[in-house]
Amino acid sequence: MCTLKHHRHSIYCILPPYILKAIAENGNQAQRSKALQILSCDFTFRSLRLGPRLSSDISKKRPTAFLVAGAKQRTINTANNTQTLPGTVVRAEGSPASGDPAVDEAYDGLGATYDFFWQVFNRNSIDDEGMPLNGTVHFGQDYANAFWDGQYMVFGDGDGELFNRFTLSLDVIAHELTHGVTEDETQLLYSNQSGALNESLSDVFGSLVKQYTLKQTAAEADWLIGAALFTGKVQGGNGNPAAIRSMKEPGTAYNDPILGKDPQPNHMRDFVNTFEDNGGVHINSGIPNRAFYLAAMHLGGYAWEKAGRIWYETLLDSRLKPNAKFLRFAELTIDNAKRFNAEAEVTDAWAQVGLVPLAVSI
């Protein structure tokens, strides 16, 4: 497990190992110990993999000297329907629309997400130090997925049968970028409850980016994740159009003969114990998702102003550990809510999904 706190040291997070080795050998005392820490954590990871790290690690290196706070630096690549990352550059920062919808949606979506974090939380990109945003579209053939690989935000075209292209929903693009933010801030372990919290944070900020862009209040928002991703062939739940997840009513996003029924619980009593999906990270995230929705509704107005701020402060809270469980996360949001006079609303939101911190022992 990587216990190193990456934040504010992210230049080290993104340096390729051979440069870290050089620092470990030639740097000053502080640089050397930091480089050694990172090398040991990253080698643990690397040794677990079958093959070499995929993309050329050198591209992680960023031109720190030219970065201006609030100025985003996007690069969109195409994998040309192969599975090679990053692919070839098709649109760089400031260049005009390409006419390829996937490319332009990724460019605009990463831009909207950057703007949200900058304007609402004064956060400068994934690492709060202006890290360039690298997206790859047209990944794989008929590839029905989007992911964050620790470096790139990657989007498939969908299979055209059940799934459309994954850049169609802004919240999905923002979800992937938020995985980078979470990895930078807390490294919430991607399995079981900590993994479901990691997933929930990506849905929370993914949905907030959409709401912020549409200027919707909590009451006006649909609280759906990936509402544009399914083709018309997929059946929704409760007579609604299908989406990947519903933060408002987890478990009702789809109910389809091929896909099955949305497996998300909306209360701790229905928590799913499973080995699948890294211990149900995309399943049990329904519980904290609904808690956030309820907190936002209790507080009213724009969800990013209070509820979003409280969740963001909790993500940055050094008391949030990589192996945190739902109850600990709930405690910390309740504690952070005090500064916003929102303790009662947040406490009640968690209580409604079955999470009641006994005495808030912080």
Task: List the one residue out of 59, 43, 103, 50 whose CA is nearest residue 77.
Answer: 103
The single residue of 105, 129, 176, 185 carrying the catalytic annotation is: 176
Contacts of residue 3, defined as CB under 8 A and 6 or more positions apart, other chains included, come to: 41, 322
- In the chain, the largest separation of any two C-alpha atoms, in whole Å, equals 64
Amino acid at the residue 39:
L
Site for another protein in 207-236 (CB under 8 A): 226
145 binds another protein (CB under 8 A): yes
- Going by their DSSP bridges, the two strands 224-225 and 153-156 should be labelled as unpaired
Quick one: which of 11, 57, 147, 241 contacts another protein (CB under 8 A)? 147
Measured CA to CA, the distance from residue 340 to residue 353 in angstroms comes to 22
Site for Zn ion in 127-166 (CB under 5 A): 127
List the single partner that 146 binds among another protein, Zn ion, none, CB under 5 to 8 Å by kind.
another protein
DSSP conformational letter for 225 = E
List C-alpha distances in Å: 33 to 1, 40, 47, 122, 127: 18, 11, 21, 30, 21
Determine phi and psi for 210, rounding to 5 degrees: -65, -45
DSSP conformational letter for 273 = P
The answer to whether 130 and 137 are in contact (CB under 8 A) is: no
Quick one: which of 248, 282, 306, 328 contacts another protein (CB under 8 A)? 282
Site for Zn ion in 164-203 (CB under 5 A): 184, 202
Window of 126-134, 136-144, 284-292, 347-355 that interacts with Zn ion by CB under 5 A? 126-134
* Burial of 81 per CB tally in 10 Å (0-12, 13-18, 19+): middle
Nearer to Zn ion, 37 or 164 (CB): 37
Would you call 175 a catalytic residue per the annotation? no
Number of residues that bind another protein (CB under 8 A): 55
Window of 2-10, 18-26, 131-139, 353-361 that interacts with Zn ion by CB under 5 A? 2-10
271 binds another protein (CB under 8 A): no
Task: List the one residue out of 56, 19, 59, 58 whose CA is nearest residue 35.
Answer: 19
Site for another protein in 31-50 (CB under 8 A): 41, 44-45, 48-50
Nearer to another protein, 132 or 280 (CB): 280
The single residue of 282, 298, 331, 345 carrying the catalytic annotation is: 282
Would you call 298 a catalytic residue per the annotation? no
Determine phi and psi for 283, rounding to 5 degrees: -100, -60
Q: Kindly state the smallest distance separating residue 24's Cβ from another protein, in Å.
A: 20
> How far is C-alpha 216 from the chain's CA centre?
21
141 binds another protein (CB under 8 A): yes
Which residues are tagged catalytic? 176, 282
Which residues contact another protein (rule: CB under 8 A)? Answer: 1-2, 41, 44-45, 48-51, 54, 83-85, 139-141, 143-150, 159, 166, 172, 175-176, 179, 183, 187, 189-191, 195, 198-199, 202, 226, 244-245, 256-261, 263, 276-278, 280, 282-283
